[in-house]
Amino acid sequence: MKDSLLKATVYNGMVRAYVADTTELVQEACRRQDTWATTSAALGRTLTITGIMAAMMKGKDNLTVKVEGDGPIGAIIADGHANGAIRGYVLNGHIDFPSNEQGKLDVKRAVGETGTLSIVKDLGLKEYFTGQVPLVSGEISEDFTYYFANSEQIPSAVGAGVIVDTDHSVIAAGGFIIQLMPGADEEVVDKLEKKISQFPSISSLIEQGKTPTEILHLLFDEADVQIHETTSLFFECSCSRERMLNAIEGMGEEEIRSMMEEDHGAEATCHFCNEKYQVTEEELEALLK
């Protein structure tokens, strides 16, 4: 099944809910980055939440998420576009630790518990929207919960999970973001808090074959759920040969001449998708004209 995301409102619009199956996009990103299990979980959770946040935007809007902790992963960077195109990478993909006390992938240890979570949104305005909060857990979901409460002032519950096989391949990935709109009843808040604290991990539900719609109904029981839209999420990188040549051109004549003389060409790798571009001496020469 293709990755999908659904947008819904519940309790007469008091609650906004987003549920996503991101298995394929996380599989693709982790395969390209050759990540090991703990890193796959960290990257996958970040990509999932980035995907949901991108779906909150419209038109050509896009956002960049940076998780920079003091753990061995170094940093996680993810981009999301309102059309569903998501990409991301980690600085050090070959990080894997034994499971934590709860038997889960020890994401906190890989990411680090001290650092920052930054979001930059390009909403087509003159200036970008930027928000930054300190990491509060390193487990990613809790860090985004803190971000929404403190930087966007929206009380939210964020959940994201990835299940990784013994050969480090991704089996299932997904997440949800539930947000309280202004004026939400105390009763609704209590009900939700109770439900979410006992909710099974979303990745295990996806592994069992549950769809985002079924997961949404599990989250809200008998409540009045209104599904507004189902959209798709997918891995896509915006790099191209032309962009890479532009970047080399921007390095200046001296640098290009040294590439020609010393290496008789150049090789550039895209961080996001690991695509390698070979540039010949003749192409470099053409850039100088």
Work out which of 95, 270, 279, 284 binds Zn ion, going by CB under 5 A: 270
Work out which of 157, 237, 245, 256 binds Zn ion, going by CB under 5 A: 237
Residue 77: CB minimum distance to Zn ion, A: 12
Residues in the interface with Zn ion (CB under 5 A) total 6
Work out which of 26, 37, 239, 279 binds Zn ion, going by CB under 5 A: 239
**273 is a site residue for Zn ion (CB under 5 A):** yes
Which run of H or E residues covers position 52? helix 37-55
Stretch that binds Zn ion, among 33-41, 174-182, 243-251, 266-274 (CB under 5 A): 266-274
Look up residue 7 and give its DSSP letter: E
CA 9 → CA 17, 51, 214, 224, distances in Å? 6, 18, 15, 9
- How far is Cα 202 from Cα 176, in angstroms, rounded to an integer? 8
- From the list 146, 80, 82, 142, the residue with the least C-alpha distance to 107 is 142
Residue 75: CB minimum distance to Zn ion, A: 17
Which residue, 146 or 272, has its beta carbon nearer to Zn ion? 272
Which residue, 71 or 88, has its beta carbon nearer to Zn ion? 88
Residue 55 tokens read as 């779906």
Map residues 92-131 to x or -, x wherever contact with Zn ion holds by CB under 5 A: ----------------------------------------
Cβ partners under 8 Å of residue 208, min gap 6: none
Which residue, 17 or 47, has its beta carbon nearer to Zn ion? 47
Stretch that binds Zn ion, among 17-25, 157-165, 184-192, 274-282 (CB under 5 A): 274-282
Work out which of 272, 277, 279, 284 binds Zn ion, going by CB under 5 A: 272
| Contact predicate 130/66, CB 8 Å | no
b/e 127-151 (16+ beta carbons within 10 angstroms → b): eeeeeebebbebbbbebbbbbbeeb
User: Which residues form the interface with Zn ion (CB under 5 A)?
Assistant: 237, 239, 270, 272-273, 275
